[in-house]
Amino acid sequence: MKIKSAEFIMSNSEVAKCPKGQMPEYAFIGRSNVGKSSLINMLMDRKNLAKTSGRPGKTQLINHFTINKNWFLVDLPGYGYARVSKKAKKTFQRFITDYFEKREQLMLAFVLVDCRHEPQPIDQEFMEYLGEHGIPFHIIFTKADKLKPGALERNLKAYETKMLETWEVMPKSFVTSASNYVGRDEVLAYIDELNNGEF
């Protein structure tokens, strides 16, 4: 898929105010500081489409971007560890779950996981929530450039072993690096196939 256009449409915290119509959308979500904004900018080949920050918790709203005028990329707040008040965190959780449970246009959620770390309970719990609610998702492993190939392979295998304690099969996954564009073509080609009804 060639990215011809990527435009910010709106930010809000209410699912009812999300864009109308039936354009398919793909949500990107992960633990705070997982590299979500950098990944989105890499996928879209834009430097500042999604705002990056050294401070976890920068994204605090549902952000819609229209891509190639035929699908939406949705940038969702990170969960966990963000330096925000408990009240704000509860609000995040409510509108994140509202979004996943009510947004009919959602095709798929991409759950971002930092490949350098062992499986984190907060990621496992979130994926279990998606599974329990029948919300389709795939995993995107980020920051692959931070590990040597052997270490990366070991970490991915360990992650799969942990996932198979709960899941019958390992969810589909992609390995990416925002700094050297690893995984970009694979993720975009997959979205393209889904949009074209090839699955």
Cα–Cα distance, 110 to 183 (Å, whole number): 13
Look up the domain containing 79 and give its range. 6-143+160-195
Handedness of CA 107, 171, 79, 33 (dihedral sign): negative
Helix axis angle for 184-195 and 36-44, nearest 10°, is 70
What pLDDT shows up at residue 78?
Answer: 80
Cα–Cα distance, 190 to 1 (Å, whole number): 9
What pLDDT shows up at residue 174?
Answer: 98
Longest Cα–Cα distance in the chain: 46
What pLDDT shows up at residue 56?
Answer: 47
Cα–Cα distance, 43 to 25 (Å, whole number): 15
Residue with the two structure tokens 């979205």? 191
Cα–Cα distance, 92 to 101 (Å, whole number): 14
Domain annotation covers residue 68: yes
What is the identity of the amino acid at 74?
A: V
Domain annotation covers residue 22: yes
Ranges of the chain whose pLDDT falls below 70 = 52-59, 80-92, 198-199
What pLDDT shows up at residue 89?
Answer: 59
Domain annotation covers residue 123: yes
Domain annotation covers residue 12: yes
What pLDDT shows up at residue 80?
Answer: 64
Domain annotation covers residue 153: no
Tell me how many domains the chain contains: 1
3-state DSSP percent of the chain in helix, strand and coil, to 5? 35, 25, 40
Going by C-beta distance under 8 Å and a sequence separation of 6 or more, which residues neighbour residue 144? Answer: 115, 152, 175, 176, 177, 182, 183
Domain annotation covers residue 30: yes
Domain annotation covers residue 83: yes
Domain annotation covers residue 94: yes
Q: 132: domain CATH number?
A: 3.40.50.300
